[in-house]
C-alpha cells in the first residue's frame, strides 16, 4: 500500500508541473492583455460620471404654449470630476432644464446634483454632488500641441450605456460647427472616435489618459464625425464658472494664463486689476504663483479650486516666484460688489421667472427686467428705460444677475468696451453699445 501510493504520486508529478506551467502562461497572457490603454482606462474611469434626467421640451411643432403642449424626454450625458469635493464639468445642454440631475459614479453609487454655474456661449456648466469621500479628479492635458492622426479615446454615457469606451484619432482641428439656430461652436477638435448621444460632456483622452477635450457634439447623419471643445479653452471657462465671484461673491483681481516652460505647466499672472486685493498683496504681472495655501497651481482652474472654501475677508497665503526669487504674499479677498449693474451700467435689474418669460415668444432663453435707470448713466444715455428686458451683453445671454456679473468682471472686459447690449421692448428686439464705467 505504501509503495503503490508513492508510485501514484510519482506518476502525477508531470501533470502538476504542466498545470503550474499553464497557470503561469495564463497569468502572463493576462498581463499582455493589460495594454497601456486598458491600464489608462482603469485610472481614468473613476473621474468620469454618467448623467441622466428628465426635461420638458416644446411640442413637435416647436411652439411654446401651455404645459400640455410640452413633451417629457429622458436626457443623458456625461461629466468629468474637476475637483475632489464633487464639482463636475459637463455640457450645459445636458443639464439645462432637467428637473432632477441624477449622477452615477463608476462604482455604481448614485447622487442628485445641482447646477453651480453655467455659460450659454460655450455650452459648459458646473454641477455639484455631495459625497462623503473625496472623488478622483480627471488628469488634465493640453490642447496646444495636438497632432492630426494622434490616437484618442472617448468615455461616455453613449445612448445610456454607462462608461462606454470608443477610440479613434484626431481628424481635424479648429472646426466650426452650427448645431442649430441657437447654438454654434468654434475652434473644435474633430475626431473619428465614435461619439453618440449621451457622450456630451465626457472626456476626449490622449494615450496618457489626460483629457485634451470635452465632447460636445455629433454631426447628425454622418458617421465617424464627432467634436470636442479643446481642454485649454474648456478649463479657462471652468475657472470662470468656479470663480470666487460666482461661488462665494468674493473678488481677488487676478487674471492668469497657463504657460509651458521646459515641458512643465506654470501659472503666470497676466493682469492684476487696479485697486484689487491682488494689487494690495503686491502681486504683479509676470509673477509665477506656485501655490495658494496647500494647493499647487499649474493653471487658472487651480486658483479657483484653492479658493472654493474662502469668502470675502479671508486671508490666503501665496507662494510666488519673481525673477528667480521666492516670495510669500498674503491676499485678503474682498466682496465682489452687490450691485455692479447699478454702479457700472446704471441699471436695477430683476430676474424673470422662466414661465413668465415664455410670453415674449423669443429665441432667448431668459432675461432681466429693467426696474430702474440712473439718470445720466451709461444705460440712460442709450435710451434704455424701465420695463425693458435685458437679454444679452456682447455674446452672452443675461438670464440671471450672475450672468451680468460674469461679463462686467471679465479680466478682458476693456476689449469689450463699448459693450453691445440686446433688449426686448414689446415685440421688438433692440440693440446698441454703451460705454461702461470702470470698476472702482
Among candidate residues 83, 117, 119, 123, the one labeled active-site is 123
Chain centre distance of CA 185 = 15
Among candidate residues 83, 93, 171, 252, the one labeled active-site is 93
Q: What pLDDT score does 355 carry?
A: 77
> Minimal CA–CA distance to 140: which of 51, 208, 94, 189?
208
Is the residue at 115 inside a domain? yes
Helix, strand, coil fractions of the chain, as percent rounded to 5 = 25, 40, 35
Active site residue 400: no
pLDDT below 50 — which residues of the chain? Answer: 1-10, 62, 64-68, 338, 440
Task: List, for residues 128-182, the tens digit of each pLDDT value.
Answer: 999 999 999 999 999 999 999 999 999 999 999 999 999 999 999 999 988 777 6
Domain of residue 223, residue span: 151-234
> Minimal CA–CA distance to 344: which of 296, 398, 405?
405
Q: What pLDDT score does 9 carry?
A: 44
Among candidate residues 117, 143, 200, 310, the one labeled active-site is 200
Other CB atoms within 10 Å distance of the CB of residue 293: 13
DSSP β-bridge partners for residue 292: 295, 318
Active site residue 417: no
- For position 170, which CATH number holds? 2.40.10.10
3 state DSSP class of 8: helix
Contact 318, 302 (CB under 8 A): no
Q: What pLDDT score does 61 carry?
A: 53
Q: What pLDDT score does 431 carry?
A: 92
Q: Are residues 331 and 344 in the same domain?
A: no
Q: Are residues 120 and 199 in the same domain?
A: no
Is the residue at 359 inside a domain? yes
The domain total for the chain is 4
**How far apart are the C-alpha atoms of 331 and 274, rounded to whole Å?**
14
Q: Are residues 181 and 206 in the same domain?
A: yes
Is the residue at 134 inside a domain? no
Active site residue 243: no
Is the residue at 140 inside a domain? no
Q: Are residues 413 and 373 in the same domain?
A: yes
- For position 300, which CATH number holds? 2.30.42.10
Amino acid at each position: 500500500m505504501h509503495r503503490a501510493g508513492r508510485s501514484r504520486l510519482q506518476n502525477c508529478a508531470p501533470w502538476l508541473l504542466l498545470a503550474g506551467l499553464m497557470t503561469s502562461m495564463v497569468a502572463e497572457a493576462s498581463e499582455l492583455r493589460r495594454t497601456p490603454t486598458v491600464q489608462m482606462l482603469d485610472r481614468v474611469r473613476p473621474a468620469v460620471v454618467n448623467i441622466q434626467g428628465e426635461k420638458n421640451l416644446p411640442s413637435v411643432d416647436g411652439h411654446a404654449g401651455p404645459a400640455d403642449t410640452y413633451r417629457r424626454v429622458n436626457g443623458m450625458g456625461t461629466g468629468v470630476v474637476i475637483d475632489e469635493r464633487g464639482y463636475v464639468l459637463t455640457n450645459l445642454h445636458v443639464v439645462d432644464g432637467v428637473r432632477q440631475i441624477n449622477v452615477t459614479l463608476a462604482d455604481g453609487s448614485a447622487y442628485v446634483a445641482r447646477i453651480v454655474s453655467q455659460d450659454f456661449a460655450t455650452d459648459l456648466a458646473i454641477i455639484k454632488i455631495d459625497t462623503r469621500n473625496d472623488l478622483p479628479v480627471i488628469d488634465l492635458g493640453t490642447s496646444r500641441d495636438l497632432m492630426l492622426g494622434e490616437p484618442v479615446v472617448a468615455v461616455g454615457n453613449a445612448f445610456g450605456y454607462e462608461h462606454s469606451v470608443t477610440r479613434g484619432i484626431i481628424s481635424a482641428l479648429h472646426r466650426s460647427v452650427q448645431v442649430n439656430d441657437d447654438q454654434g461652436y468654434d475652434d473644435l477638435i474633430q475626431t473619428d472616435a465614435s461619439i453618440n448621444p449621451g457622450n456630451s460632456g465626457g472626456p476626449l483622452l490622449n494615450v496618457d489618459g489626460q483629457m485634451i477635450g470635452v465632447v460636445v457634439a455629433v454631426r447628425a447623419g454622418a458617421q465617424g464625425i464627432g467634436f470636442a471643445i479643446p481642454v485649454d479653452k474648456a478649463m479657462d471657462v471652468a475657472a470662470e464658472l468656479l470663480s470666487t465671484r460666482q461661488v462665494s461673491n468674493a473678488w481677488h483681481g487676478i487674471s492668469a494664463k497657463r504657460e509651458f516652460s521646459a515641458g512643465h505647466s506654470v501659472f503666470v499672472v497676466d493682469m492684476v486689476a487696479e485697486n484689487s486685493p491682488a494689487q494690495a498683496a503686491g502681486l504683479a504681472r509676470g509673477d509665477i504663483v506656485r501655490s495658494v495655501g496647500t494647493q499647487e497651481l499649474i493653471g487658472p482652474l487651480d486658483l479657483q479650486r484653492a479658493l472654493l472654501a474662502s469668502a470675502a475677508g479671508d486671508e490666503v497665503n501665496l507662494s510666488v516666484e519673481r525673477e528667480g526669487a521666492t516670495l510669500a504674499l498674503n491676499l485678503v479677498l474682498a466682496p465682489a460688489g452687490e450691485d455692479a449693474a447699478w454702479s457700472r451700467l446704471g441699471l436695477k435689474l430683476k430676474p424673470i421667472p422662466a414661465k413668465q418669460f415664455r410670453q415674449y415668444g423669443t429665441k432667448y432663453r431668459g432675461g432681466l427686467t429693467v426696474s430702474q435707470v440712473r439718470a445720466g448713466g451709461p444705460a440712460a444715455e442709450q435710451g434704455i428705460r424701465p420695463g425693458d428686458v435685458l437679454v444679452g451683453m456682447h455674446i452672452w445671454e443675461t438670464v440671471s444677475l450672475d450672468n451680468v456679473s460674469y461679463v462686467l468682471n471679465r479680466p478682458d472686459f476693456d476689449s469689450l468696451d463699448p459693450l453691445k447690449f440686446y433688449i426686448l421692448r414689446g415685440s421688438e428686439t433692440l440693440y446698441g453699445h454703451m460705454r461702461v464705467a470702470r470698476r472702482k
